[in-house]
Structure formats: structure tokens, C-alpha cells
Structure 1
Amino acid sequence: MMLIAMGWISVLLLAGGIALDRAMTSMVTRNFDEQLGYMLTGMIGSAEIGPDGEVFFNRPLGDQRFLEPNSGLYWQISGKGHEDFPSRSLWDRSLKVPMDHVDDQPHIYDSQQFSGEPLRMMERSIILPGSNTVWWFAVAESRKELDEQIGRIRTILINSFLVLGFGLVLMAALQSWYGLSPLRRVRLAIARMRTAGANRVTDPLPVEVQPLVEEINALLAHNDKQAAEARTHAGNLAHALKTPLTVVLNAAQAKEPDLAETVQRETQVMRRQVEHHLARARAVGRRGAGQARTALWDSTESVIRAVERLYQDTRFDMDGRRNALVAIERQDLDDILGNLIENAAKYGGGSVFVTIQPDKGGSLVNIWIEDDGMGIPEKDRERIFDRGARLDSGKPGTGLGLAIVRDVVEIYGGRVELAESEDLGGLLVKLALPKAAE
């Protein structure tokens, strides 16, 4: 992060320095050129044509450097067919003024005509009163002073921007150090939590990182809950398998004649127990994978079409909200509805009615599944959810269906209850599932 900050600071300072250098250089050069312009205007204003047709000044120019040989400030007046009229500062030299053009306005440029003395020149073409000759007025000054000023400005800019850059990098480092200090405290708190065997971050931390700490504690609580559920499932599975294994072992040791039947029967029991716990484990895994969104009406229609093939004499009806969405995986929803609707068709009298209605302003979607069968006595409605519980042993089944349904529904934060159907007179299953975010 600091390398990125240093890179951006360097780029911005470089861009700003170049822009400021150009602006300052342009300003100094413009001031220098304005001084040359004042001198050129003064030359033109003082120039007249003498009786001999040559140019002369009616008053001396004000700058003393024009009188000092090789002073660095020069002027010259040139005209075709006339001798050059130079300043004394030129001494034995003369300015090379191109006379192949006419400049109505001052023309300024750099010149290298004097060895070791670069010049800044300004010239203009003028026809003086009383003469038909085009005269070229030129004033030149050594760039030494201008270049020195530009050099001083650049030195100041470089030093200033170096100090500014160092200060900005230092401030960025201090800001990063200070700004990340709460995260370092969080890291130390997590390290202490790990070494101390705690399961929560309880150290007092700055308010800036409190939301992060709350999320960490929530994640730890979620992991603890999943670990506890996994231990519970493993213990339940081990306990459920212990009895059939003991029965098989005792039958084998006693060499009972019906050993084969015993093994088959107890193996079926073990298989059902394994399927039950696998269904719970899959539901827990899907719940932890993320927020699901499933269209309830589509899933219910699909389940009813499948059950209709098995119970062709049963009438199935649906009503309610077609666009209801629930926060549950499609496969788990199909398993829940399939179990409940198939039970309604199996134990009912030929009619099954499904109603879908979300809570108004609530967080659940209600699914009512009614049939016209014998129903379940109120005293047995809670017991029927126990593993292996069956009230009608005359029909095929394992007694694990409703137990799995309740476990999976509760894993997703829903609930399932049994009641008596007022319309059909049979069993009413009240299923409530969490509503998905729209």
C-alpha cells in the first residue's frame, strides 16, 4: 500500500512540478520579453531621419549598458543601402538581422550568432517619416540573466517538491500506521483468543473496527453452531447404529437360524438412519453455501405432477401467490413438499389442496397442505415427527419422512405444524418457510 501511495505521490508531484515549471518559466520569459519591448519602443520613438538620410536618435536611450562594450544589451538599426547603426555595446560586432521580410509587429526569437553568448532578440520593421527606406530596429539581450533566473526557479521548485514529497510520504506512512493500528489490535486480539482457547473476541477495541469484530464473532458463533450440529449428528448416528449392530452381532454369536433375515432387517434400519442424517447434513451444507431463491409455485407444481403419476385417483388443487419466493434450495424444497404432498395423497381420501400465502409484512411464506383423510389425533401430532414413528403400519413407509421434513425445515429457519383441516376434514400441514429477498 505504501508503494502505491509513493508511486501516486511521485506521479502527482512530477506532473505538478512540470506544470508549475512551465508556468513560472513562461512568466519570467514574458517579463524579460516585455523589457525588450519597452526598449524597442523607446528606440522607435527616438529615431529620426537626418539631412543625410541616415537614422539618428533625438535623445539618448536610458539604459547605460548600451554604452558599455560587450555589456550583454545591444541595439542596431539596419536598412538596405545604408550602413548599420549599432549601439556602442556591440563594439566590433553587429547583429545579423534578416532583411528579407517585413515585421509589422515585434518579432522575438532566440539567437546563437554570438559565440558563447546566446541572445534573446526582438526586431520590427518601420518606415520612418521623411524616408522611403524600410528600417529594421533590433534589440538583443544576453540570455544569461534569464537562464539564471529560470535555473534558480527550477532549483527552488525541485527542492520544494522534494521536501513536499518527503513530507507527503511521511504523512502517508504515519496515516497508514495510525489508521491500521485498530486492525493490528484486532489481529493481536485474535491471536490471544487462539492461544487462550476462547471462542469470542472480547478485548475492548476502537469503535472504527467494532463492526468487523461483530462480524468475526458472528462467524465464530456460526462455526461453533455448525461444529456442535456436526457433533450432534455424529453422536445421533452412532447411537442409532449401535442397536441394530448389537442385534446383528448377538444373532451371529448365537448362530440363530434366522440370521439372514435379521441382517437384512437391521441393515434396512441402518440404511434409513444413514439417509436421515445425510439429508440433514446436505441441508446444513446448502444453508451455509449462501442465500438461496426458489420459486415456490414452480416447485409445488413439479412435485404434484410427479405424485399424480402414483396416485391417479387423487384430485390435486393449488391456490395462492404464484410469485412467492423462499430462501431454500430447490432440491430441499422438492424433498419437503414431495414428502408432505405424497403423505396427503397416501393417507387422504382422494382430495389434496395446497395453498400458498406469504405473511403480510412478515418474513415467512405459509404453505398449507390439506387432505380429506382420517387426520391425526391431537395427542399424536407431535409424536409423529419422531424418527420411526408411524400411526398406520398397514401402509409402506419407514417413519422417517416427517422427521426429516422437520429437521430440514428448522435448519432453514422455518417451522412445520399439524392441525385439522376445516374445509376437508382431514389433516392440515402448516408449513412456514423463510421468504427470499426480492
Structure 2
Amino acid sequence: MASVTASTTPPISRAGDGIAPVATSTAPAGDAAIAGGGPPPHTGSISRRMLLIAAGWILILLAVGGFALDRAISNLIRGQFDDQLELSLTALIVSSEIDPLGDVRLNRGLGDQRFLEPNSGFYWQISAEGREDFTSGSLVTDNSRSLWDSTLDIRDDVIAEEPIYYDIVKEPDERVRIVQRSVRLPGSEKQWQFVVGGSRAELDAQISEVRSILGWSFAVLGIGLFLMAMLQTWYGLGPLRRIRRAIARIRTTGTNRVTDPLPLEVQPMVEELNALLAHSDRQAEEARTHAGNLAHALKTPLTVLTNAASAHSADLDQTVLREAATMRRQVDHHLARARAVGRRAIGLSRTNVLASAEAVERAVSRLYPHARFDIAGSAAAEVAIEKQDLEELLGNLIENAAKYGGGSVFVTVDADPEAELCTIWIEDDGEGIPAAKRGDLFTRGARLDTEKPGTGLGLAIVRDVAGIYGGSVELGESEDLGGLLVKLILPRA
């Protein structure tokens, strides 16, 4: 009457059937390292990274800004110094005229007394090709002159009428800033070189003083900015320290949520942490439930065995075999659920349905070489379930169809990629199952056909494992083959 009874385990996982496993799972190397109990590896301190980045940017900005500011101020001071020299040069040119002998003479002296003091650091000089230099020391005067009996080593190739600026070295080791201009005076055919020079000692002293002020100012500014960066880092990472304390309270006080008010930037991480804690609680509760159910399921068979052994029952051997088979069914059932729950906790998986169905078909065809299998559907369909669990589900269903059907097994994979759920149809050409008795098949140990080997756990395992992943399984009647139709519904990856 009945055409389907659930098998104990899928043929792809039974060593006794002589079928090699289709897929095996190995733990990643990282999991082994974590399982060793050692602390997880870290990549350094966030605070240190932030401070290093801040220090780098502070140094770069201060260096670039300091260099630019130093150039600007130095050019400003030098420009003011050059303007002073150019004013004296203009006054020198205005005071010059050609005497009857064709030489230059000054109709009035320069107002700056430093030109009258020997080696004062400020000098003027007038020269032309073929003429001796007319210096501030050649005037007939009772006062001493700044150049005294020396001359300035100027450039003799200047013909432009615009002033030019350059530096020379005047003995002994005195650097002089020169402004020079070529002028043709009225009444003379010669190109006269008018030169005014000033010692760079005062100019360099001003620049050095400004650079010293800039150096100290930027040093204080850099230290202040780095201290502010440290304060910002400490204050900015405060929520992470609060999360750490909240996690410590979870470990020490037994609370299971982080409820502290935190900034928006870390709130998503806290929500994920709370979700992880809730998931761990569910996992622990499921583990406790499985352990309690298994203990309760084994309690009765163990009591029967104990009573039979204590009474020296004549059918003790039969009792042991019967109760041992019952305990084995319970252990297989709860182990399948525990494996599925454990693999689900690893994360969202992606498994190709058609590839897994073909792998199961190759394994089942060894046990039922006369069965005809037809697998069709979308080759790109993937479900969010571990490969080993999917093959266990398909193994139970396809083996049942081959065992209790008439020899034909159809497997069809849903081809709609937009659907949230992926549907897999397994059909056979057996006698089918009346609708009133289909619900009984999901009861652990239920078998409608006791003539063929099996434990009646296959469909119960399929239902439980599919439910763990958010799926379901339904039974119906195949319109094409006339036998049983099993519709396995799983979440699409």
C-alpha cells in the first residue's frame, strides 16, 4: 500500500554500503587556530594608527606652511631692505651731474650719515668704462668716508636702466647687498654705473630673528596640535571602551545585551553584537533542548534494558536488539539536527542544487542500478544551506524514491531566479501514499512499509534539517508518474 519509508541515513554517508562520501567538510586553518584557545591575532592599536596619521599630517603641514611663511617673510624683509637701498640709489643719481672735465660730481651729499663713516656697512660708488671709480671716499670733505680707499667689486656688464640686485663679498668677509643701475647723465656720452650697497649683517640678523620666532611658534603649535589629536583620539574612541566594559559586564554579570546609549557610528556594531548574543543564546537553548530530548528518549530504552537484565528475562537478547535499535534511531536523529545547527552557525552558505543532486544520483545509482533517474532544472540555482546538509536531504529523498518507487525517479529544480525560495520536486512512479497517512511519515520511526530495511527517520530528519535553515518539506501526488511527490522548499542564496 505504502510506497515510501524514510531511510536511516542517506546512502552517500553510510560507510557500510560501500559508497564513497560525495563531499567532506574540513575546518579552515583559521578555525583551528581559534580552536586552540589562544588570543586572536591583532593588527595594532587604532589609537596608535590615528596618532601616527595625525602626527604625519601635522609635520607635513607645519613643514610646508613654515617653509612658505619663511620664504614670504624673508622676501618681505629683503624687499624692504632693497627698497631702502634703491631710495639711496635714486638720491645718488639725482645728486649727480657732469663737471666741465666730463667727470661726475655730486652737487649735494647724501643725507644718510652712514655713507660718511668708514666701513659703516653702507656704501655708494659711481664708475664708467675708462674712468676711475668715483666713490664716497673721493669727495673732498673733512669727514671720513665709508668706503675709504677701497672699491666695490661690481658687475661691469649692466646696461639696463632698471635696478638690479645681487650680493658680493667685500673684504674682510663682509657680504654686501648691491643695487646697481646704468645711467647716461646729461652732457656725457658714457654709461655710468651707479651702485649703492648695504651690509647683509643687519638683513641676515632680521631674517634669523624671524626664523627663530617661526621655529618656536611652529614647535609650540605642533605640540599643541598633537596634544589635541591625542585628546580627540581618546575622546573619539571612548564609545569603544564603553563597549568593551559592556562586554566585560556580559561575561561577569550574566547579562546578555549591550544596552548602553552609544553614538550612531558604533550603534550598528552594537546591534550586530546583540544579534550575535541572541543567536548564541538560541544556539545554547537548542543544544540544551537536544540534550534534554536525547536524554529523555534514551531513558525509557535504558530502563527497559535494566529491568530485563535484572529479571533475567528469557528474551533478553531480543529486548537488547530492539531497544538498541530504538536508541540508535534517537541518536541518529539528534546528531543530524545537531550537525545542521552547528553548520548553520558558521554563516550563510551557498550550494548549487543541481550539482548536489547529480552527486547524490551517482551515489544512489550504485545501490539501485536498475532505477532510472532524470534530473532537470536551473543549473545556476543556489540555496543558503551547507553542501553536506543539502546532500543529506536529497540523499534521503532520492533514495526513498528509488527504493519504494517503480524504477523511475524525477528530480526538478525550480528555475525562477527571482523567487526568495527554491523549490525542489522529487517524484517516483510507485504506488503513492494516501493523503490521510502522509503526515504520519514525519513521525520519528514511522514506517508504512516494513518489508524493506529502514528505520523510519529519513523524512523526520529532512523535515528538521530543512526547518533549521528556514525551509520546509511537503508531500503530494505526482501528476506525471502517479507516485509520491516530495516538495523540498529551501531559502535561495
> 1:224: which partner in 2?
281
Pairing 1:92–2:140 present: no
Structure 1 unaligned segments of length 5 or more: list them. none
**CA deviation string 1:203-251 (max 9, x = no partner):** 4445554323322211110010111112122223333444444455455
What root-mean-square deviation, in Å, do the aligned CA atoms of Structure 1 and Structure 2 show? 3.3
Question: What SS class does the counterpart of residue 118 from structure 1 fall into?
Answer: strand
Residue 102 of structure 1 aligns with which residue? 157
Aligned match of 2:70 = 21
**Equivalent-residue separation in structure 1 for 2:106 and 2:303 (angstroms):** 133
* Larger deviation, residues 331-340 vs 304-313: 304-313
Name the CA distance, whole Å, in 2 between partners of 1:414 and 1:57.
111
Aligned residue number for residue 9 of structure 2: none
Q: Which amino acid aligns with 1:32?
A: F
1:33 maps onto 2:89 in alignment: no
CA 1:223/1:93 → structure 2, altered by over 3 Å: closer, same or farther? farther
Q: Report deviation, 1:312.
A: 3.5
Is the contact made by 1:359 and 1:366 (CA closer than 8 Å) also made in structure 2?
no
Deviation at 1:413, TM superposition (A): 1.6
Alpha-carbon distance, 1:406 to partner? 1.8
Letter in 2 for 1:56: R
Letter in 2 for 1:92: W
In structure 1, what is the equivalent of residue 294 of structure 2?
237
Q: Return the letter of the residue paired with 2:158.
A: D
Moved more, 160-169 or 296-305: 160-169
> TM-score by structure 2 length?
0.76
Q: Indicate whether 1:314 and 2:371 are aligned.
A: yes
Structure 1: how far apart are the matches of 2:74 and 2:176? Answer: 17
Do 2:432 and 2:482's aligned partners in 1 also have CA atoms closer than 8 Å?
Answer: yes
Query: Residue deviations 1:248-267, cap 9 Å, x none?
Result: 54555555676666656655
**C-alpha contact 1:46 1:58 (8 A) present in aligned 2:** yes
- Residue aligned with 2:79, SS: helix
Would the aligned equivalents of 1:77 and 1:86 in 2 still touch at CA under 8 Å?
Answer: yes
Q: From 393, 403, 407, give the equivalent of 1:346.
A: 403
Aligned to 2:12: none
Residue identity (%): 63
Provide the rounded CA distance (Å) in 1 between the counterparts of 2:362 and 2:124: 107
Secondary structure of 1:307's aligned partner: helix
Distance 1:367 1:60 in 2: 113
SS in 1 for 2:448: coil
Go from structure 1 to structure 2 and tell me whether the alpha carbon gap of 1:161 and 1:396 turns closer, same or farther (over 3 Å shift).
Answer: same
Matched, 1:141 2:190: no
User: Which deviates more, 229-238 or 256-265?
Assistant: 256-265
Provide the residue aligned with 1:332 in structure 2: 389
TM-superposed CA distance for 1:167, in Å, is 4.1
What's the CA shift string for 1:256-309, capped at 9, x where partnerless? 676666656655554444343333233222222222112222222222233333
The answer for the alignment partner of 2:464 in structure 1 is 407
Relative to structure 1, is the Cα distance of residues 305 and 139 closer, same or farther in structure 2, using a 3 angstrom cutoff?
A: same
1:164 maps to 221
More helix by share: 1
Q: Which residue in 1 is equivalent to 2:42?
A: none
Q: 1:84 to 1:310 in 2, by over 3 A?
A: same
**How far apart are the structure 1 equivalents of 2:166 and 2:243?**
66
* CA 266–66 in structure 1, closer or farther in 2 if over 3 Å, else same: same
Distance 2:66 2:261 in 1: 46
- Deviation digits for residues 46-104 of structure 1 (CA, Å, limit 9, x no counterpart): 545444343334565464543444443211234565432222552425344156x5234
The answer to whether structure 1 residue 200 and structure 2 residue 237 are counterparts is no
**Is 1:55 aligned to residue 101 of structure 2?**
no
Deviation at 1:32, TM superposition (A): 2.8
Taking the aligned partners of 1:37 and 1:263, their CA distance within structure 2 comes to: 121
CA spacing shift, 1:56–1:315, aligned 2, 3 Å: same
Q: Which residue matches 2:61?
A: 12
1:390 aligned counterpart, secondary structure: coil
SS in 2 for 1:388: coil
Once the two structures are overlaid, the 10-residue window that deviates more, 184-193 or 253-262, is 253-262
Distance 2:431 2:68 in 1: 91
For residue 335 of structure 1, report the CA deviation from its aligned partner.
1.5
The amino acid across from 2:334 in the alignment is: H
Quote the offset at 1:117 in angstroms. Answer: 4.6
1:131: Cα distance to partner? 6.2
Of 27-36 and 336-345, deviating more is: 27-36
Structure 2: gaps of 5 or more residues: 1-46, 138-144
Contact in 2 for aligned 1:76/1:94 (Cα 8 Å): no
Higher relative contact order (CA 8 A, sep 6+): 2
Structure 1 Cα separation of the partners of residues 385 and 250 of structure 2: 34
Q: Does 1:75 align with 2:124?
A: yes
Q: Deviations over 1:371-413 (max 9, x none)?
A: 2222233333233223222211111112222222222212212
Alpha-carbon distance, 1:143 to partner: 1.8
Q: What corresponds to 1:431 in structure 2?
A: 488
Q: Deviations over 1:163-182 (max 9, x none)?
A: 43344334434433443344
- 1:120–1:140: 8 Å Cα contact kept in structure 2? yes
CA distance in 2, matches of 1:104, 1:390: 119
